[in-house]
A and B are shown apart, each in its own frame.
Chain A
Amino acid sequence: MPQVTLTVNGKQHSVAVEGRTLLVELLREKLRLTGTHVGCDTSQCGACVVHINGESVKSCTTLAVMCEGAQVTTIEGLAAADGTLHPMQEAFREYHALQCGFCTPGMVLSAIDLVQKHPEGLTEREIREGLEGNLCRCTGYHNIVKAIAAAADVMHGKRDTIAAAAE
C-alpha cells in the first residue's frame, strides 16, 4: 500500500493509503478531521474545499497519494491555538453567513484563498464570481458575500476588527 507523508494544519502525518484514496477520505476517515464535508462528490458543490500549499482545491477530486509533501489546511486549522477565530470565521459568525452550516467549511476556505489573491480589494461581483465553485442550498449567498467583504478589509489591514467593519 502506498505511503503518503503530508502536513495537515501544521502537523506532519505519514499514512498508508490505497492509490484510489481521495484526499477528503484521508482527512475524514484516517485523520478524523470531519470538518471537511462531502456534498456532491462530483467536484461541483465545494463543501470539500481545503487548501493545498495555500491554494483552494476540491479534496473530493484529489488523490491522497498525489499530496506527498503537501501543506494542507482544513477548517480545523484556521483558528489560533487559544481558540481565537480567523477573521473569515469571525465574519461568517458576525454576518450570519450560514444557516445549516454544511457548505460553510468550503465557503470559508475558498473565501480566504480569494481574499489572499486580491490584495487590491474585491468588488461584490468579484466575490460572487469567486464563489462559483461553492454551492449553498440554504440560499444564504447575500450574507456570505457581505462577510467576505468585511473579512477582506480586516485581512488587508483596512479595518482592525470584524465588528468595526460591520458598523
Chain B
Amino acid sequence: MYDFAYHKPASVADAVKLLAADPDAKLVSGGHTLLPALKHRLNKPSSLIDLSGIADLKGIKKVGNSIVIGALTRHVEVATSDVVTAAIPALAYMASHIGDVQVRNRGTIGGSVSNNDPAADYPGAVLGLGATIHTSKRKIAADDFFQGMFTTALEADEILTAIEFPIPEKAGYAKMKNPASRYVMAGAFVSKGPMGVRVVINGAGPGVFRQSAMETALAASWAPGAVAGIKQDADGLNSDIHGSAEYRAHLVGVMAKRAVIAAG
C-alpha cells in the first residue's frame, strides 16, 4: 500500500471541502473494498477522508412509506434492524448475506453503493427497489445512478449521504455466491410495489441491470413460472475462472425464479 494523508472531518460540509480541494482524495468508512484495492496498488490516493466521525450519516428510520438508511450504516445494522425487517425483509436478508460476519461489522451501505462493484450485493437491492440516492447536493433516482462497472452518477466532489427505499408490496433476493468470498456470481432482486415490477440482476454483468423481459412477464403474472422460460442473453456478461458468461446467463434465470419464490 502506498502511503497517504489522513483526514477525519466532523461534518459532511467539511468532508466536501476536503474532497473538492484534492482531486486524488478518496472517501473511506468501513474500508472493506478500498483497503484491499490499495493493498494491490490498484489505486494511489493522495489522502483518505474518513467519514466515520460524521454522526448525521448514521442510522435507519421510517419516513412516510419509505425506509431511509444513512450512508455510514453498517451491513450488520441493516441485517438486524427491526425497522428494516418489518418493512422490507428482503433488504435485511440481503444485508445478512454480504461477505462474512467481520465484513458486515465494518462495511457500510454508502461505501458499497458508491463503489458499484459488479459483484456487490447492495446495488441489486437499490435498483431492485427503485430507491432514491441522497447526496451532499441532490437526490438521484437509482435508474440514473448506476452507470456500469465501478461507475456512478456521483460527481468528484459529491458524497452519498443516505438511501431512501420505497416500501414494496413484496420483494425477494437470491444469489449464487462465490464459495470463498461470498460475493455475487449472479443474483436477482425482484420487487412489486410503488416503483412498479422490477427484476434486477447483479453479479452477472459489468454492472447491475434491469431484466425487462422478466419484468414484463412478472407484471402479467407474478409467479416463479413466469420467469422460468425467459432466456438471458450471455452476450456482454462476465466470464472468468469462476464461471463463463453462458453459465452466468443460465444462473440469471435460476436466481430470478428463486427470488420470486422468496418474495412469495
Contact = CB atoms under 8 A, between A and B. Distances in A.
B182 A55 contact: no
B4 A19 contact: yes
A46 B102 contact: yes
Interface string A104-132: 00000010011000000000000000101
Contact of A62 (B1, B8, B31): B31
Interface residues of A, number: 27
B38 A20 contact: yes
A132 B36 contact: no
B62 interface: no
B48 A19 contact: yes
B102 A110 contact: yes
Given A18-B3, A19-B5, A19-B48, A57 B105 contact: yes
A113 B105 CA distance: 11
B36 A20 contact: no
A137 to B, nearest CB: 13
B38 A66 contact: no
Contacts of B48: 19, 63
B105 A132 contact: no
Contacts of B181: 44
Interface in A35-77: 41-44, 46, 49, 55-58, 61-63, 65-66, 68
B101 A56 contact: yes
A83 interface: no
A63 B31 contact: yes
A2 interface: yes
Nearest to A55: B105
B40 to A, nearest CB: 9
A75 to B, nearest CB: 15
B29 to A, nearest CB: 9
Contacts, number: 70
A68 B36 CA distance: 21
A133 B97 CA distance: 12
A83 B35 CA distance: 36
A63 B35 contact: yes
A58 B180 contact: no
B100 A57 contact: no
B175 to A, nearest CB: 14
Contacts of A113: 101
B42 to A, nearest CB: 13
B89 interface: no
Contacts of A132: 100-101, 182
Interface string A1-44: 01000000000000000111010000000000000000001111
B31 A61 contact: yes
A61 B36 CA distance: 7
B101 A114 contact: yes
B115 interface: no
Contact of B101 (A18, A44, A110): A110
B158 interface: no
A57 B52 CA distance: 16
Nearest to A65: B6
Q: Kindly name the residue among B6, B50, B102 whose own CB sees the greatest number of chain A CB atoms within 10 A.
A: B102
A89 B31 CA distance: 30
6 contacts: A20-B1, A56-B105, A58-B106, A61-B31, A68-B8, A132-B101
Interface of B: 1-6, 8, 28, 31-32, 35-36, 38-39, 47-48, 50, 52, 99-103, 105-106, 180-182
Given A49-B102, A65-B6, A113-B101, 14 more contacts: A19-B4, A22-B35, A43-B36, A43-B103, A56-B105, A57-B102, A57-B105, A58-B102, A61-B35, A62-B35, A63-B28, A110-B101, A132-B182, A133-B101
